Structure 1
Amino acid sequence: MKKRDISDPTSWWYQAAIHGIGFKTYTENPLGHNNMHEWSEDSIWKKAKGIPQNTIQAEALADEMKDKHFWQQCQHGSWYFLPWHRMYLYFFERIVSKTIQDLGGPDDWTLPYWNYFNAFNPKLTPKLKEKALFIPQEFGFFCNDTHQTQPNPDFPGLWIEERQSYKLNPRTPDHPGDLWDTSSMQSTGFVGEGPDGFGGEITDFSHNGRYFGALENNPHNTVHDEIGGTMGDPNTAALDPIFWLHHANIDRLWQSWIENGNTDTTDKKWLNQVFYFHNEHGEKVSLSPSDVLNTQQLDYTYSENYSGLNQTEPVIHKSYLRGTFVLDTIAASIKPLSLNSTPISTSLDFISSEKTKVVLTHIGTESSPAPTAVYVSLENITGAGNIAPVHIFIKLPNSKERFFVGSLGLFGLTQASSPSTHSAGQGLNVQLNATEIVHQLRAHPQWKLEDIHIEVEPSRALGAANATIGRISIKAEV
């Protein structure tokens, strides 16, 4: 497929460009292996067979194909995120399968998935849990002795030099991590922003959306950003072969969420939206979400369902999802917060209102009823470059203690910060559910809601990347 011209819909290059393509010339040189060279979107895409080597001409081609609804079509920050990527995987699998058969291979090849959630499976041994966190060995190795990566000699085509990390960082009870199985799978509604909505918020066509649904933020975004390199940029992500196994797992999790008793939206706008692709014969085809509600509609199933072995009660209250109340902003930062490679914190100003007084009375004391919902909201996050997942903590006054709220992935940060036909350039917005941690902290002897700080810490050094959080706020309902 890599030998085919980028104009061929069945080529590796064309398929990757469906997700995203760009020709930014600023240099990416993430901290990592000794053999990781400087690269840019421009340098990566100029490797494609048939791509114009003149950047202006290459950009013109990309714009032309975008206008035809073929390239730069991935849906992010949108309720179309899950169905669009299912369609994308479906046609990619058929194209690869036909290519294998044309080369004399078997006729039963199927796209595998990377089950990193096995890291949380209590039925597995510690060794198998640890193994689940590593990119499958067919895709290459990271050598601890030389700090270099190398391809698996049996599968050299699955290695890409610009891959930064080969292991994911899981969350454990005593360790803040980027990967967390229950952060999204406990959501009980499909439509909504952040923890409210498993599938994302209502949008039109959304190539570079601002508001992520629960599954898109974690594990989708955090895995993209943790692996880094080309995987950390929507315009190059699908050039890394591990992209397809990651998204197959995301697709599996959607199917598992449905099989575990949840339901998709029945909104006709969502069901009937049309997206265009090419099949294994290079023919133009189209599908709508109504065509892909269940994998069996596309004649495939997954070998293993995710049953949520660690789940107890849903973290999102159904009364909230039904819209019986709304969250109120009770406090917010007053200055933007620029990230650096060390922890940085900000205080919050509490909004003077009768509603805030009521909320403070309830949340601020251990003897009061437990809060119904408390969210930490990070708004207008702008910047450029690939940034590893960012850890968010609540820090108590006059104390060095900090308590982990969650991780956010800034996948698509550069695109969301750049004004275009797809984006106003206002950056990303992410919400994290802090209900349980606030409930626990109310028993802490130094707990005083009015004096808490929010601390932000990237999980890896930023390198040449940068990001600024426009506002951090606390939203609550009692």
Structure 2
Amino acid sequence: MQYIREDVWELGNDWAAPILWYARGVAAMKSRALAVPTSWRFYGAIHGIDRPLWKALGYLSAADPLPRSADVKRFWQQCQHGSWYFLPWHRGYLLAFEANIRDAVIKLGGPKDWALPYWNYFKPNQFKLPPAFASPNWPDGKGNNPLFVPQRYGPNSDGKVYVPVDQINLDAMSDPDFTGVSSGGSPGFGGIDTGFEHGGSTHGGIETQPHDWVHGLVGGENPKPPHLPGLMSDPDTAGLDPIFWLHHANIDRLWQVWRQNPLTDIDPTDANWLKGPGSVGERIFSMPMPGNVPWNYTPADMVDLAKLGYSYDDLSPATAGLIASLRLERLGASAAAANVTEGAPAMASGKNVELVGANRKALPISGDQVSTSVQLDAGMRNKVSASLAAAATSGTPDRVFLNLENVRGLSDATAFHVYVALPEGANPANYPDRLAGSIALFGVRKASLADGEHAGKGLTFVLEITKIVDALHLGNAFDVNTLDVRIVPTKPVPKRAKITIGRVSIFRQGG
């Protein structure tokens, strides 16, 4: 049977049959004890669990019998972040969860072809939380709606939950490479080459935006002390929120959309990716299926939707992207010369990465905005300029990336916009062309723990600033010793969040 995942906002009404059956399936999973591998909380712990945080949020008590140690070792704390396994691991996680909900639906007398809906917040008028998730009541007015959770605070931490459409983007869809580099250049559409990575430091393009952003702004943070995060804001609680699964279904859909360009957008062919971390002696990807039967899978098992038995009702292109010919024309190549590259990658995807410059010290983030200056190495700056000037004949101009390295802090709900080369005293809102990108610190608390897997080195975010540098070059404004970088939080960052950026740096990437 081929299952079709549909847009939650286009099912007919707020409590259309697929959503009503989803709620009933969620209720069935929530009725099971934590120790049962197909229970709601067990599935949440597969993504991640912080026991003190779960207790503080009311999802774990001393009376809860814990699962068998073998089940904990096999299944819990498994999600892949900051890794080239991010997309295939989550696809398997979704499939297994969907199978468990479907099993519950069928046992309750529901449709055998039930499939998980997705939330496409990019579509017009679909940015709000779907209504069935926003009310504590079932459609008959009775309480205890299993799709509603109180720990959902929204972008302004006021309980109004929506995705600010002017703050999310699909820039990652223009990246021609699935696998990126860890040396300061593009992290790729799907992430950098890693082993089993439960909380890697460098997030790939689609993970950074829109994945992280939607997590952080939907979850938000409780404005009341002790300022606990919303469920979606923290990787160790995100799987407990029923909206998590619709968000990830959309991310999974975007992966399939990206793959539709056969000239450039292809998944890795490396054996280590295809066979997964289990092939090199690390943890395997494994999920409990209906009947508590374990299912093991690899990334190679996840690449063909037809073989997996499902698809989406809409796989139309998410964005046209910036193809090479348009950029070359902008940089001075004739239309005829630029058209030679039509259908080529969106940008040069060379792996040669070099540091162009960096600021001098760590940058604390608090209040409504902070600034720093990146000192540019004259030789490297000239190298970028020469690449751009030669674009008309070489066809391979550099790509340029801004790195926010070793970002640490205590608040996963923190989000901010990053601007480059703003005029002094300028209002950032008046310069959308200088917006490098937007960052949500999903996972920063865990990545900042000194006793954590990565010894508290934090997260690193990579934003492509190629368009900005192109514009500066064309305006003869790139011949400077420094580039100013301004961080503008979506709402003032309190000092208690302890957010710092270890270093702000700029890298060139070319042939």
TM-score with structure 1 length normalisation?
Answer: 0.81
Give the superposition deviation at 1:438. Answer: 1.8
For 2:132, which of 122, 129, 138 is the aligned residue?
Answer: 138
Displacement after TM superposition at 1:328 (Å): 1.6
SS at match of 1:252: helix
Return the match for 1:408 from 420, 429, 439.
Answer: 439
Compared with structure 1, are the counterparts of its residues 398 and 295 closer, same or farther at alpha carbon in structure 2 (3 Å cutoff)?
same
Structure 1 Cα separation of the partners of residues 485 and 153 of structure 2? 29
Q: For 1:62 and 1:368, locate their aligned partners in 2 and report how far apart those are by CA, in whole Å.
A: 64
Mean CA deviation greater in 387-396 or 68-77? 387-396
Match for residue 44 of structure 2? 16
Residue 82 of structure 1, CA deviation: 0.5
Moved more, 225-234 or 395-404: 395-404
2:174 aligned residue (186, 208, 218): 186
The farther-off stretch of 266-275 and 391-400 is 391-400
Between stretches 71-80 and 382-391, larger displacement belongs to: 382-391
Distance in 2, matches of 1:117 and 1:333, equals 35
Matched, 1:167 2:162: yes
What displacement does 1:445 show? 7.8
What residue in structure 2 maps to residue 34 of structure 1? none
Shift of 1:259: 2.1
Summarize the alignment of residues 204-243 of structure 1 with structure 2, pairs less than 5 Å apart: 204-228=195-219, 229-243=230-244
Question: Hey, what does 2:59 align to over in structure 1?
Answer: 47
- Alignment partners' CA distance in 1, 2:349 and 2:72: 37
Distance 2:475 2:71 in 1: 54
User: C-alpha distance in 2, partners of 1:355/1:53?
Assistant: 61
Q: CA deviation at 1:132?
A: 1.5
Amino acid at match of 2:55: D
Maintained 8 Å contact 1:94/1:279: yes
Q: Who is 2:501 aligned against?
A: 469
Residue type of the alignment partner of 2:132: E
Query: SS where residue 379 of structure 1 aligns?
Result: strand
Counting aligned pairs with the same residue, the percent is 35
Residue-by-residue CA offset, 1:94-125 (whole Å, 9 max, x unaligned): 1001111212222221100001222xxxxxxx
The DSSP-based 3-state class of the residue aligned with 1:331 is strand
Question: Any idea what the Cα deviations from partners look like across 1:346-395, whole Å, max 9, x if unmatched?
Answer: 0122336x444434676799999995211111101111122332210013
Structure 1 segment 15-164 matched on structure 2, within 5 A:
15-24=43-52, 40-44=53-57, 46-48=58-60, 51-52=61-62, 64=69, 68-118=73-123, 129=124, 131-140=125-134, 153=139, 156-164=145-153
The answer to whether the Cα contact below 8 Å between 1:140 and 1:152 also exists between their aligned partners in 2 is no
Is it true that 1:198 corresponds to 2:189 in the alignment?
yes
CA shift, 1:284, in A, is 1.6
Judging changes above 3 Å, is the alpha-carbon distance between structure 1 residues 64 and 459 closer, same or farther for their aligned structure 2 residues?
farther
Name the SS of the counterpart of 1:227 in structure 2. Answer: helix
> What SS is found at the alignment partner of 2:117?
coil
Please point out which of 383, 387, 397 is paired with 2:413: 387
Structure 1 spans left out of the alignment, 5+ residues: 25-39, 119-128, 142-149, 172-176
1:430 is paired with a residue whose SS is: strand
Indicate conservation of the 8 Å contact 1:74/1:207, yes or no. Answer: yes
Question: Would the alpha carbon gap of residues 477 and 285 (structure 1) be closer, same or farther in structure 2, given more than 3 Å must change?
Answer: closer
Alpha-carbon distance, 1:451 to partner = 3.5
CA distance in 2, matches of 1:74, 1:65: 18
Residue among 277, 292, 305 paired with 2:302 = 292
Give yes or no for contact 2:121–2:165 (8 Å, CA) kept in 1: no
SS at match of 1:17: helix
- Distance 1:152-1:311 versus aligned 2 partners, 3 A rule: farther
Check conservation: 2:322, 2:346, Cα contact below 8 A: no
Task: Say if 2:259 is the partner of 1:258.
Answer: yes
User: Helix, strand or coil for the counterpart of 2:129?
Assistant: coil
- The residue number in structure 2 matching 1:126 is none
Residue ranges of structure 2 left out of the alignment (5+ in a row): 1-28, 155-160, 220-229, 277-283, 328-343, 429-433
- In structure 2, what residue type is equivalent to 1:211? T
Q: 1:319 to 1:253 in 2, by over 3 A?
A: closer
Q: Number of aligned pairs? A: 426
Which one-letter code corresponds to 2:146 in the other structure? G
Give me the whole-angstrom Cα distance separating, in 2, the residues matched to 1:359 and 1:259: 32
1:307 to partner: Cα distance: 0.9
- C-alpha distance after superposition, 1:426-463 (max 9, x if no partner): 00011100011221234558665324310011212334
Report the counterpart of residue 36 of structure 1 in structure 2: none
Counterparts in 2 of 1:108 and 1:375: CA distance versus 1, 3 Å: same
DSSP-derived class of the 2:245 partner: helix
Contact 1:366–1:442 (Cα < 8 Å) also in 2: no
- Distance in 1 between the 2:83 and 2:117 partners? 25
Counterpart residue number, 1:311:
321
Aligned-partner residue type, residue 387 of structure 1:
A
Query: 1:308 offset after TM fit, Å?
Result: 3.0
- Shift of residue 79 of structure 1? 0.6
Q: Aligned letter for 2:180?
A: G
- C-alpha separation between the residues in 2 aligned to 1:98 and 1:358? 59
Q: What residue is the counterpart of 1:358 in the other structure?
A: 383
SS in 1 for 2:463: strand
Residue 330 of structure 1 pairs with residue 356 of structure 2: yes
Aligned residue number for residue 347 of structure 1: 373
**Deviation of the 1:418 alpha carbon:** 1.2
Q: Would you say the 8 A contact 1:345–1:453 is kept in 2? A: yes
Please tell me the root mean square deviation across aligned C-alpha atoms, in Å. Answer: 2.9
Q: Residue deviations 1:200-256, cap 9 Å, x none? A: 111111001001111111111111111121101000001111100000011111111
